[in-house]
Amino acid sequence: MAEATVLELRQHDRTARSGGIAAADTAVECRDLVKTFAGGVVRALDGVSVAIRANEFFTLLGPSGCGKTTLLRIIAGFETQDAGSVLVHGQALDGLPPFRRPVNTVFQSYAVFPHMTVEQNIAFGLEMQRRPRQDIGRRVAEMLTLVKLDGMGKRMPAQLSGGQQQRVALARALATAPRVLLLDEPLSALDLKLRTGMQLELKRLQAEIGITFIFVTHDQHEALTMSDRIAVMNGGKILQIGTPEEIYERPSARFVADFIGETNLLEATRIGERRFRLASGETVETAEAGPAGPAGDAVTLAIRPERANLAPPESAGLAGRVEQIVYEGTDTTYYVLLASGFRFRLSEQNRDGAQPRVRPGDAVAVALPAAAIQVLVA
Amino acid sequence: MSAPLRRAGLVAPAMLTIGVLLVLPLCLMAVISTLVRGPSGGVIWSEHTLDAYVQFLFERDLMDRLVVNTDYIRIFARSFGLAAMTTALTLLVGFPTALWMAFQPASRRTLLVFVVTVPFWTNILVRSYAWVLLLRNGGVVDWTLMKLGVTTQPVSILYTPLATAIGLVYSFLPYMILPIYVSLEKLDRRLIEAAFDLGADRWRALRRVILPLAMPGIIGGAILVFVPALGAFITPEILGGGKSLMIGSLIQQQFGQSRNWPFGAALAFVLLAIVLLALMAHALRYRSGVKAPP
């Protein structure tokens, strides 16, 4: 990527923005969005409010049917909300058709126009804006360089690979310098290797161009890798908004803890400010108090597999028996059957080669450092 | 059985069908067009001549000299004009209809396709006479216009080129709607959304994305309407009153009243040649110009 192109892109961006007051720090604001389908039977969005900062890589993460794509389509203008409103840089978009909105979309299925060449695809949005011909030509060339498709401008989409078509879709959406780019699971159709490459590339592009990305995915790994902030959604609601670290290390809800990465969820009762009794009778101490509540309150304790330690039997921790050992290359995962009947998942990094200290059937203790335990409302 | 033999066995039914139903009758027609008409109809199988083709362009005057005769060319031109107009009008009505159908919910689409094909169930003659009842003086159209005060005198639509055009558009409309509908129905909706997203309003999304992608359907529909409209003779006869001769009627007359089979066959072949040349020219242009989407 040539330095000059980046500069030009930025400049372009700035001229495109100069019309409005560029002071507002919030790029997209959704207020109490409600959307129902099938005559009110399905609540796709159930009062969603979120403020997305300018130039942020923001991810909507959740299982299929959680409402993340609906939210994106409402911002793009393909769906109309039943209630609530959407503002982009302070301008209310409610009632505006998609072609009047300062946002562009990269679709899951690419949606590259099959009857146009790569260049014609990229030029489409610019032609719709009736830009001068020379401008369009220059901009298309810039975009081809940006997505590393130099020399492919005259090809038809059918002659391109999936990854290349994805780049065309990206270049086409970026060509008009939108203030916000919406990406609807753009990588889900690519194979793993290509996907990893595109993840880094998208991140690089976003940093270079400096515009707001709203990215929809059901892949938690993808979300953690790429995002500045993540909103975890389920059942039409946003459960938690935070940085990848916050979402992973300090999930605020049982669903978030369970959905992001692997987690052991233990039922417990509060017996002190930071002391809890497990169903099996053992007591554990936590570093944080979690949501305030009286003693006797039922809570859920979440422990990540890599944060617990395997200890010799009789030492402090939860007693159990090793049920299964799975070698996974970088890690080894131990499944320990606790006295309560809970199957605890614990993983260790294979730093010194695979040297299993225990065998299936061995009695062990699972040590839980106080800082490793996250207290959640049951 | 060896592989080539088995392959021959498998294609035999198709070849037989095409051979018996298509190639054989065409060959027979080709032979007839080079024969001499019999004194009381039929042909004399032993005498060969190309007089039938000569007759298309020339006639013999009293001195037995060949002079150019444009009568038949004029009939051909009129028929081509009518067929072109029919194609244009069916496209004008059919495309919006197909577009609207393609954007209905899936359950309603099936019903709509069914409704479009309903006219096929009734004989074309019956449907043409139905139009006679509608269009004649004092008919439903006339009566309605008079009652509404649009006209004070009976409008004579029946037995005019307009009546022929209405009848042709009516009977060929499904052949235009269905192929266009098929190409629109399988069109990826995200492509239209992408066009909107990139700033195209409805009109420009239609012109830049929907129309080009529906082109195979439009061309298919145009061929399906144009070619049979060219040879149509029932509608011009009944609704046009047979006042202006069309190719279809002309050919039919040669085999009927005129008992001039060789000339009828020759006319049919001239028509076939023109249509084939037009289709080939189109195919060549389409291949070298815009690349068809896969």
CA-based torsion, B183, B189, B193, B194: positive or negative: negative
B142 vs B134: CA distance, rounded Å:
8
CA–CA min distance A275, chain B (Å) = 54
User: Which pLDDT does position A14 carry in this prediction?
Assistant: 41
Question: Regarding beta strands A26-37 and A42-53, do their DSSP bridges make them parallel or antiparallel, or are they unpaired?
Answer: antiparallel
DSSP state of B291: P
Of B188, B199, B290, the CB nearest to A99: B199
Nearest CA in chain A to B212: A115
Burial (CB < 10 A; 0-12, 13-18, 19+), residue A80, is exposed
Residue A118 confidence (pLDDT) above 90: yes
Residue A131 confidence (pLDDT) above 70: yes
User: Which pLDDT does position A10 carry in this prediction?
Assistant: 47
* Token reading at B2: 């060896």
Find the helix packing angle between B24-32 and B261-288, rounded to 10°: 120
B191 vs A114: CA distance, rounded Å:
9
| pLDDT tens, position by position, A306-337 | 999 988 888 888 989 999 999 888 888 999 99
B15 vs A95: CA distance, rounded Å:
60
B191 vs B196: CA distance, rounded Å:
9
Q: Which residues pair with A303 in a beta bridge?
A: A264, A373
Residues of B in contact with A125 (CB under 8 A): 198-199
* Token reading at B270: 């001239």
Under the banding of pLDDT at 50, 70 and 90, the label for residue B66 is confident
Q: Which amino acid is it at B245?
A: L
B133 vs B127: CA distance, rounded Å:
10
Do residues B240 and B130 lie in contact, with contact meaning Cβ atoms separated by under 8 Å?
Answer: no
Q: Which amino acid is it at A207?
A: A
User: Which pLDDT does position A80 carry in this prediction?
Assistant: 93
Q: How confident is the prediction for chain A on average, in pLDDT? A: 87
Instruction: Give the C-alpha distances (Å, rounded to integers) separating A197 from A56, A143, A167, A201, A213.
Output: 20, 19, 12, 6, 18
| H helix runs in chain A, sequence order | 3-17, 68-76, 118-128, 133-146, 162-174, 192-209, 220-226, 244-249, 254-259
Neighbours of B178 (CB within 10 A): 19
- List the single range of A19-23, A48-52, A150-154, B97-101 with lowest mean pLDDT: A19-23
Give the ipTM of the model, two decimals please.
0.79
Is domain B81-247 given the CATH code 1.10.3720.10 in the classification?
A: yes
Residue A23 confidence (pLDDT) above 50: no
What is the DSSP secondary-structure string of B80-136? HHHHHHHHHHHHHHHHHHHHHHHTS-HHHHHHHHHHHHGGGGS-HHHHHHHHHHHHS
B250 vs B229: CA distance, rounded Å:
14
Residues of A in contact with B195 (CB under 8 A): 113, 124
Q: Does B204 touch chain A (CB under 8 A)?
A: yes
| pLDDT tens, position by position, B69-108 | 888 888 889 889 889 999 999 999 999 999 999 999 988 9
Q: What is the mean predicted confidence (pLDDT) over A112-137?
A: 95
Q: Residue A119, Cα to own-chain centre: how many angstroms?
A: 31
Q: How confident is the prediction for chain B on average, in pLDDT? A: 87
Question: Regarding beta strands A309-311 and A318-327, do their DSSP bridges make them parallel or antiparallel, or are they unpaired?
Answer: unpaired
Interchain contact, B199 vs A158, CB within 8 Å: no
| pLDDT tens, position by position, B251-270 | 888 888 888 889 999 999 99
Find the helix packing angle between B124-135 and B161-185, rounded to 10°: 120
* Token reading at A96: 């505006």
A 163-182 residues with CB < 8 A to B: 172-173, 176
Residue B285 confidence (pLDDT) above 80: no
| Long-range contacts, stretch B247-253, CB < 8 angstroms, 24+ apart | B247/B75, B247/B76, B247/B79, B247/B271, B248/B79, B250/B72, B250/B75
| pLDDT tens, position by position, A230-271 | 999 999 999 999 999 999 988 888 899 989 888 999 999 998
Residue B56 phi, psi dihedral angles, 5° rounding: -65, -35
B139 vs B157: CA distance, rounded Å:
10
Domain ranges of chain B: 81-247
Nearest CA in chain A to B190: A111
| pLDDT tens, position by position, A268-310 | 999 888 889 988 888 888 888 778 778 888 889 999 999 999 8
Q: Which amino acid is it at A367?
A: A
Interchain contact, A114 vs B198, CB within 8 Å: no
| pLDDT tens, position by position, B186-243 | 999 999 999 999 999 999 999 999 999 999 999 999 999 998 888 888 888 888 887 7
Q: Which residue has the higher pLDDT, A184 or A195?
A: A184
Q: Check residue A289 and give left, alpha or beta (phi > 0: left; psi -120 to 50: alpha).
A: alpha
User: Which pLDDT does position B292 carry in this prediction?
Assistant: 45
Residue B144 confidence (pLDDT) above 70: yes
Instruction: Give the C-alpha distances (Å, rounded to integers) separating A247 from A56, A340, B163.
Output: 17, 28, 74
Neighbours of B140 (CB within 10 A): 11
Interchain contact, A105 vs B204, CB within 8 Å: no
User: Which pLDDT does position B286 carry in this prediction?
Assistant: 67
Percentages helix, strand, coil for chain B, rounded to the nearest 5? 70, 5, 20
Q: Which residue has the higher pLDDT, B56 or B23?
A: B23
User: Which pLDDT does position B184 carry in this prediction?
Assistant: 95
Residue B181 confidence (pLDDT) above 50: yes
A155 vs A149: CA distance, rounded Å:
10
User: Which pLDDT does position B1 carry in this prediction?
Assistant: 62
Q: Check residue A317 and give left, alpha or beta (phi > 0: left; psi -120 to 50: alpha).
A: left
A 316-345 residues with CB < 8 A to B: none
Residues of A in contact with B193 (CB under 8 A): 78, 98, 105, 107, 111
| Long-range contacts, stretch A306-309, CB < 8 angstroms, 24+ apart | A306/A331, A306/A347, A306/A348, A306/A349, A307/A369, A307/A371, A307/A372, A308/A264, A308/A344, A308/A346, A308/A366, A308/A367, A308/A368, A308/A369, A308/A372, A309/A346, A309/A366, A309/A367, A309/A369
User: Which pLDDT does position B183 carry in this prediction?
Assistant: 94
Residues of A in contact with B190 (CB under 8 A): 107, 109, 111
Pick the closest to residue A105 from A269, A216, A254 (CA basis).
Answer: A216
Residue A1 confidence (pLDDT) above 60: no
A153 vs A22: CA distance, rounded Å:
34
User: Which pLDDT does position A353 carry in this prediction?
Assistant: 63
User: Which pLDDT does position A343 carry in this prediction?
Assistant: 93
Under the banding of pLDDT at 50, 70 and 90, the label for residue B248 is confident
Q: Which residue has the higher pLDDT, B11 or B151?
A: B11
Under the banding of pLDDT at 50, 70 and 90, the label for residue B289 is very low
- Residues, chain B, total? 294
Residue owning tokens 């335990």: A373
Pick the closest to residue A61 from A296, A285, A240 (CA basis).
Answer: A240
Q: What is the mean predicted confidence (pLDDT) over B15-19?
A: 93
A77 vs A88: CA distance, rounded Å:
12
Among residues of chain A, what percentage have pLDDT more than 70?
A: 92
* Token reading at B89: 């009008």
* Token reading at A317: 């921790």
Nearest CA in chain B to A129: B199
Do residues A315 and A365 lie in contact, with contact meaning Cβ atoms separated by under 8 Å?
Answer: yes
Residue B283 confidence (pLDDT) above 90: no
Among residues of chain B, what percentage have pLDDT more than 90?
A: 39
User: Which pLDDT does position A75 carry in this prediction?
Assistant: 95
Do residues A85 and A70 lie in contact, with contact meaning Cβ atoms separated by under 8 Å?
Answer: no
Residues of A in contact with B206 (CB under 8 A): none
Q: Does A98 touch chain B (CB under 8 A)?
A: yes
Q: What is the mean predicted confidence (pLDDT) over A222-231?
A: 93
User: Which pLDDT does position A304 carry in this prediction?
Assistant: 92
Q: Residue A325, Cα to own-chain centre: how many angstroms?
A: 31
Exposure letters A217-238 (e unless 16+ CB within 10 A, then b)? bbbbebbbebbbbbbbbbebbb
Q: What is the mean predicted confidence (pLDDT) over B40-66?
A: 82
Interchain contact, B193 vs A158, CB within 8 Å: no
Neighbours of B98 (CB within 10 A): 27
